[in-house]
Amino acid sequence: DTGVSQNPRHKITKRGQNVTFRCDPISEHNRLYWYRQTLGQGPEFLTYFQNEAQLEKSRLLSDRFSAERPKGSFSTLEIQRTEQGDSAMYLCASRPGQGANEQFFGPGTRLTVL
Amino acid sequence: DAKTTQPTSMDCAEGRAANLPCNHSTISGNEYVYWYRQIHSQGPQYIIHGLKNNETNEMASLIITEDRKSSTLILPHATLRDTAVYYCSWGGPQGNLIFGKGTKLSVKP
C-alpha cells in the first residue's frame, strides 16, 4: 500500500454514460498525476495538478474528460459520454513538490465500457 | 518518439540475478531515470531512481551508462514474487513519467 487510494477499483458502464473516479493522494504531496493504461502498454500521462491548479493536459485528454482537485486534496476524473475506447486502467499518482520525481501510484480504477 | 526501449520479455531462474536493460537515448541531461514494476491488476510500484551515479537500495541496483543513454536494473537474487512487468521511465517536461511497454520478467523455480 503506497498511501494513494482510488475509488472505485472497478467500473462497468454502458456506452454514453458518464463516470467519475476519485483519487486520494498522500496527504503532504502537492503534485497529483492522472495516467491511463491500456492492455500491454505502459501508463500514459493525462494531466497533473500542483495543489488545486491543473497545470498541464495531454493531447490524450479529449473534451469529454475533465479533472478537478478542489482545495488541493483529493482529485476527481470525469469522463462524459463514455466510448468503448475509453476502456482502460486509470491510475493516479502523487509526489512531493520538491526533489526527485519519485511518484507513488494508487491501485487504479479499471473502466470497462460496454 | 521520446520513449524508452526495453526487451519484451525475459526469464530468470529463482535465486539468480536478473539484469533488465533499458535504452533511453533521448533523455535530457537533468532528467532522472526511474524504474517501476507492476504486478497484474495493481498500480506500478516504485523500485529505484538515479541521475548519473549507480544506485542501490534494499530492492535493487541501478547501473547508468556514462552517456546516460541506457541503464540496467539488477535484482540480485530474484524470487518468484519478483515476477512482474518492469518499466524504466524518465521525467517529462511537466514532471510526468514517460513509460515504454516494459519487460515482462518471469522468475522460474
Location of C-alpha cell 476527481 = A76
Strand partners, B104: B9, B85
Q: Among residues 18-77 of chain B, which lie with CB inside 8 Å of chain A?
A: 32, 34, 36, 41-46, 49
Is A45 in contact with B97 (Cβ distance < 8 A)? Answer: yes
Q: pLDDT-derived band of residue B41, with 50, 70 and 90 as boundaries?
A: confident
CA distances from A59 to A63, A89, A101 (A): 10, 18, 22
Q: pLDDT-derived band of residue A99, with 50, 70 and 90 as boundaries?
A: low
Smallest Cβ–Cβ distance between A101 and the set B43, B45, B91 belongs to B91
Beta carbons of B43 and A108 less than 8 angstroms apart: yes
Q: How far is B55 from chain A (nearest CA, A)?
A: 14
Round the average pLDDT of chain B to a whole number and report it: 91
pLDDT > 70 in chain B, percent: 95
List the grid coordinates of B29.
Answer: 541531461
A45 contacts in B (CB within 8 Å)? 92, 94, 96-98
Cis peptide before A43 (omega within 30 of 0): no
Is B95 in contact with A95 (Cβ distance < 8 A)? Answer: yes
Q: How far is B30 from chain A (nearest CA, A)?
A: 11
User: What is the tens place of the pLDDT at every residue in A5-29?
Assistant: 999 999 999 999 999 999 999 988 8
User: What is the tens place of the pLDDT at every residue in A29-81?
Assistant: 889 999 999 998 999 999 999 999 998 888 888 899 999 999 889 999 999 99
